[in-house]
Chain A
Amino acid sequence: DIVMTQTPLSLSVTPGQPASISCKSSQSLLHSDGKTYLYWYLQKPGQSPQLLIYEVSSRFSGVPDRFSGSGSGTDFTLKISRVEAEDVGVYYCMQGIHLPITFGQGTRLEIK
């Protein structure tokens, strides 16, 4: 199984400041079809997860442009340019290139 490792596991950010989360996979997520199957989700307190970023860097419908994704191969990053109070929750990266689909451990973001 592909292991997804996120760092840090928790983050405390002042509103208006940037935040960054790293995700590393144990195998390359680049498929022969040219796509890289790396995704980012946010689970707000008491809610189900919601898709933020698909295929490394594409924002899902309705996701604010302060969220951005980057990376390639096995190393990926989610960045929030200016954190807002509504961004609190747990962020998960996920790989979809090989079954079983696997998730990172999650990174908890709180507001200072």
Chain B
Amino acid sequence: EVQLVESGGGLVQPGGSLRLSCAASGFTFSSYSMNWVRQAPGKGLEWVSYISSSSSTIYYADSVKGRFTISRDNAKNSLYLQMNSLRAEDTAVYYCARAGITGTPVDYWGQGTLVTVSS
């Protein structure tokens, strides 16, 4: 069974930093590309970032480019999102999401971790 478990969310002041983690299990993590997708309270879904299986290809949404950094450690079956210069509009539930082998951008999602940016 595919499992994705996010952690690291919490309350942070504007301008602060936070590092999210996602622990993957139930599949060969090193073979799959991964994404972060977020959802502001009561709002829709917004794709944030993508990383290929070998970390050779990385993409970001314009809204986070230059502030967020996606990374992974295949030896630890883990995905990360380093978030710097946080803004109120970054407040959201952040989901770790697997990309399917056959080209599906997102097939499985974690349960999410809430990031609140507020003074």
Report which A residues bind B (CB closer than 8 A).
35, 37, 39, 41, 47-51, 54-55, 60, 92, 94, 96, 99-106
- Some 18 contacts from A to B, beta carbons below 8 A apart, are A39-B105, A41-B45, A41-B106, A48-B95, A48-B109, A48-B111, A49-B109, A54-B107, A92-B44, A94-B106, A96-B103, A99-B50, A100-B62, A101-B47, A101-B105, A101-B106, A104-B44, A105-B44
A-B contact count (CB 8 A): 57
Considering the complex of A and B, which 10 residue pairs feature the smallest CB-CB distances, nearest first?
A96-B105, A101-B47, A48-B109, A103-B45, A54-B104, A106-B44, A100-B61, A51-B107, A101-B105, A100-B47
User: With contacts A39-B104, A51-B104, A96-B104 known, is A103 near B109, CB below 8 A?
Assistant: no
Question: Which residues of A sit under 8 angstroms from B110, Cβ to Cβ?
Answer: 48
Question: Which residues of A sit under 8 angstroms from B47, Cβ to Cβ?
Answer: 100-103
Main secondary structure of the interface of A (DSSP, over half): loop
Interface status of B100 (Cβ within 8 A of chain A): yes
Shortest A67–chain B CB gap in Å is 16
- How long is the Cα–Cα vector from A60 to B104 in the complex, in angstroms? 10
- How long is the Cα–Cα vector from A51 to B50 in the complex, in angstroms? 18
Question: Which residues of B sit under 8 angstroms from A104, Cβ to Cβ?
Answer: 44
- How long is the Cα–Cα vector from A102 to B46 in the complex, in angstroms? 7
In the complex, are the beta carbons of B45 and A92 less than 8 A apart? Answer: yes
In the complex, are the beta carbons of B59 and A99 less than 8 A apart? Answer: yes
- How long is the Cα–Cα vector from A96 to B100 in the complex, in angstroms? 12
- How long is the Cα–Cα vector from A50 to B112 in the complex, in angstroms? 13
Shortest B62–chain A CB gap in Å is 7
